[in-house]
A and B are shown apart, each in its own frame.
Chain A
Amino acid sequence: MNRNYIYLSILILILSAGVFFLPERDNNQQISPEELMLQIMQPTHYISTDAVAEMIIEKDPTLELIDVRPIDEYNEFSLQNAYNLPLDSIMAEGYQDYLGIEDLNAVFYSNDDIKADQAWVIAKRLGYNSIYVMKGGLNCWIRTIIQPERPEETASSEDFELYNFRRGASQYFSGIEIEIASDDSKSGVNVVRKKKKVVAEGGC
């Protein structure tokens, strides 16, 4: 018998047993503090209330709204099809199922920016991507979408366009006058949940 086979057998045994004797290694998949700092500083993780409203109205399937306020506030009022993920339970079992879903952009919101920002940082540290914060939170939502202010007469035409959009959106969301959405009764963002790990099932 060729002696090489004995050597090879011993080699693979040593290699496979060797993993038990490797020193501990901090395999931190998390984002580094420098990188996190850089990302926090960049305003690109903010998304305006107008953009969110537009996505809801257009039934953008990639939008996943996440309400980080406590559950009673969520029950009182929340945006259409938003999931409730209270900030204090973000680490709890099962709650993170909302995050890291392929092709979905998670948008955090709370009453203002603070809690949503905190949730964003935590989620970023946990390694999730495609996460955003709705700038200004629900306060801004009410101010801009639900009760838009009429711009001055001297304002630019863009401002008026925006105002008209907001007025339409306001009607859409408060349901006062249904003129944009005819199928308003069941208007919902078709969020496909649990789309995790759909790697076009492998194999034959």
Chain B
Amino acid sequence: MISETNLNKKPNYLNPYFGGVLLGLTLLAVFFVAGRGLSASGVIKLAIVTITDFISPAYTESNNYMNKLVPDDGSTPMFSWLVFSAIGTFFGGLISGAVYGRLGKLRIEHSPKISSKTRLFAAGIGGILFGIGSQFGRGCSSGAALSGTAAFSFGGLMVLMLMFGTGYVVAYFFRKLWI
């Protein structure tokens, strides 16, 4: 089921459709077990709340966005489904990287036309935009676009179409980053 490696040093990836079926079944499993979709990055949100709550509980209480995420019984927000699944995601990637021989020392992957610095800068900016966007969108590509749409949510489909739509519209202006 693994695509054949060729002499151009093409990495050893799963057939994308096979990977897609596996991902779909995983999604189905999480719906069956938890009644909600996959989520990658709620953990970051919870981390921010936890840190803020540690420094200034009064502030988290006054912030209407954060106070919903702090449990009333005084336990830590980090003891949550989102956190454990994110830890799992990390180790899943780690094992897959080990199995397919992609583990390596710290490295930066970028288009030959840009420097490593440019790539890191772009990654940071992209991360910030994605971070803000994911909160307005009630979830990222896995939480809103994939899981949301799979559960027939209208908002999920909207985020999915807007995300890819915007991507295609603005792709031209950022082509130097990639090709």
Contacts and interface: CB of A to CB of B under 8 A. Distances in A.
Do A and B have CB atoms closer than 8 angstroms in the complex?
yes
Interface of A: 5, 8, 199-204
A200 B143 contact: no
Contacts of A202: 36-37, 39, 42, 139, 143, 147
Given A8-B17, A199-B35, A204 B40 contact: yes
A199 B36 contact: yes
Interface string B31-54: 000011101111011000000000
Contacts of B135: 204
Nearest to A201: B138
Contacts of A201: 138
Given A203-B134, A204-B39, 6 more contacts: A199-B36, A202-B42, A203-B37, A203-B137, A203-B143, A204-B135
Contacts, number: 43
Contact of B44 (A199, A200, A204): A204
A171 B62 CA distance: 38
Nearest to A9: B17
B134 to A, nearest CB: 4
* A-B residue pairs, 7 tightest by C-beta: A203-B139, A203-B143, A204-B140, A204-B41, A204-B134, A204-B143, A202-B36
Nearest to A5: B17
12 contacts: A5-B17, A8-B17, A199-B36, A200-B69, A200-B80, A200-B81, A203-B139, A204-B39, A204-B40, A204-B44, A204-B45, A204-B139
Interface string B1-16: 0000000000000000
Contacts of B35: 199
Contacts of A203: 37, 39, 41-42, 134, 137-140, 142-144, 147-148
Contacts of B45: 204
A139 B94 CA distance: 67
